[in-house]
Structures are given as structure tokens and as C-alpha cells.
Chains A and B, each alone.
Chain A
């Protein structure tokens, strides 16, 4: 007996504009969160260092 499988592509290109828009929005959101996170963390490191030096 032969068996045939239709393999769905796990990796692919997105054509649909609606999906693309949603993806872009989410990507920008993650960029924004990362930017805020990095600024806050760096500022914290800077403050801790200043505090350590001054004490």
C-alpha cells in the first residue's frame, strides 16, 4: 500500500496585506518595548554605578 501525505509548509511568505499589517504593528510594538526596556536598564546601571562611586 502506498501512502501519500500533503505536507503543509511550516515556513513561508505572507501575501495577505491584512496579516502583514498586523505583523508589522506587533513588530514595532516589540521594538518599542525593547527600546524602553534597554533605556530603563541602562539608566539603572548608570545610577547604581554613580551611587556606588559616590558612597
Chain B
């Protein structure tokens, strides 16, 4: 067995053991490094966003220099070639609308220009896939026209190029995961999930529109979430790790208190999210609940999930509180504040990592990471300090 293969097996065992909420040989480190990789490898944000080959190269450069157990093949996840081919309206890209050194941005339209109109709930509920093709995509694209309108050259090309670009990217991601393994590094995740209510806010009604709908037409919101459930489950299942080792990631956005009420969380969000998580677990897939922001108000509710079915990732929540409430059921990850990585000193980072390891990881079941994806505001020496502190204080 080659040294890289041996290292990979060792790291995989460490990572899987921690995700099962057990005690590995040491605390695994799995930083979700995004635009940080560009900064480290000497690329601009534009380069790693526009050209996935450079994004891949930047990740590989990092894993050669940092002692990380697992990373995402490309955490600058939106390859701009796809939305540009489709001429989508909801992104601003570095080197185009933004400075080449700024990470890409999602642009939420004002409520009156939402990508889904309030009177379109029944259309979505009746046929979500048809709605996406026939109404949503033409509305979010400057080139794609809806059924009934004259087909244009740009329309044809947008669909063709968008599909080809996505296929190209997904195929290349497979090669990137292989390249990670050959360097002894575990691809951290496999598969994507968004909760129905989150996706309604993110890409359909917008946050303000959805907040209004929750008050004015909650039954429609609920039925829309129910209609989306089997599709979001299907997408997660199709993209999940066939070997059932790496977790599907659920990117959790704006469906927590106080962004929605506890009533809406309990009666709409959770009843349309929990069954997806349970169904994935039944299929043998763990889910990394990547709780962006602060979801502390819902920790007790998350305990309802089968033990071991999730890894709960802490961003701006209280990781010590999460440990207290979830420890007997799920592993945790994250909890290192991104602002500390950006503005703190290496010594402060080391001390914080030590505090988290001592407070959370003593019995295993913890994976070191920042709270949110690590962008180019993080200082290189601070990411290095996080890595070294994990190895120094994270031995069992």
C-alpha cells in the first residue's frame, strides 16, 4: 500500500469514526475552505470562480501544505460557467459585476420581482418539475423563453450550453475527488439537500415574499413544501455517496427563529424536513446539517432524529450548548468563529480551538471546522494555527 493510500485510509477511519459520534485516534479536521484556497494558492476569486480547474488546483495546493483530513473538492461551489451559459440573473461574479478579489454574491430580487409570484403556488404544487422548466427558469434567465413565446437562438444555446457545462463540471468533480484521495485526503461530503421551506425562500419567493406568505397563505406554503419534499429527497439520493460513507450536506439557511416564528418552524419547516432526513437515513445516508447562522432554538427538536443520522454543524450558535443537548445522539462540527480567523491572532485562534476541543471533543464525536465556509478574509496564519492546534490539543 502506498503512503498516500495508507494516509487516506487512516484519515477516512478517523473522519467516519468521529461522524458516528465515536472516539477516533485524534480530532479530525475538515475545514470548508472556499475562497481561502485562492488566497493561499495565489489566484484571484475571479479565477477560482470562473475556471474550476484553477479552483481544483488551489484546493490541491492547500491539501499538500496543510494537514487536513477531509476537504470539499471545490467549496467555491458555483462554477460561473453554468449560470453564465444560462444567463441567470441572480448572481454577481468576481471580475464581472464585482472586483476580481471578492467572492461571488447571490442577489435576491425585491419582493415585487420575486422569481415565483404568490398566485403561482398551485402551479408549483401541481407539478414542481414542470413549474421549474416552464415558469421559473424562463423567469430567472435572460435568455430562456417560456412555452408559447418564439424560440430564439439564445434560448436554444442557453439550454444546451447550461446542460453541457453542468455535465462537464460534475464529471470533473469526480476527477477532483480522485485527486484528493491520491493525496491521502478524504472528500468531505457527497450530495446536496435543501429543506423545502429554505428553497422556497432562497430561489422562489424570496425571504420577504415567503415571510408574507407564511402570514397570509400558510396553507399554500405548507402544500408547496409537501410537493417539494419528494423531489428534494430524490436530488439528495441521486447525489449521495454510493458507498454510504460520506454525508449528504443540508445547507440550512433562513428557516430558524427569529427569521421565522417557532410556530412556522414546528408546523411547516420541521414536518417537511424531518421525513427527508429520516428517509435518507433509512437508505443508509448520514446528513451533515450545516446550520448557517444560529439554530440554537431548535436543538431540542433535532433530537427527534434517529441517533447517528446526522452530524450537526455549528456556525454562530453556541457549540457548548449544542454539545450538552445533542451529545448522546449526534456528532458535532464547526464552532470556530470566522471573524476570529479573519481578525484574530494565531494565539487567539489556538486558544479558541483548545477551548472547543476541551469543551466538546473529549469523548470524540467532533470534527474541527470554522463556523461558516472559509473565504479570503481568513488569515493564512490563523488557518494554520487552527490546523496545528487541532493536532496539538486533539489527541486521544
Chain A bound to chain B = no
Residues of chain A touching chain B, judged by Cβ–Cβ distance below 8 Å, are none
Please list the residues of chain B having a beta carbon within 8 angstroms of any beta carbon in chain A: none
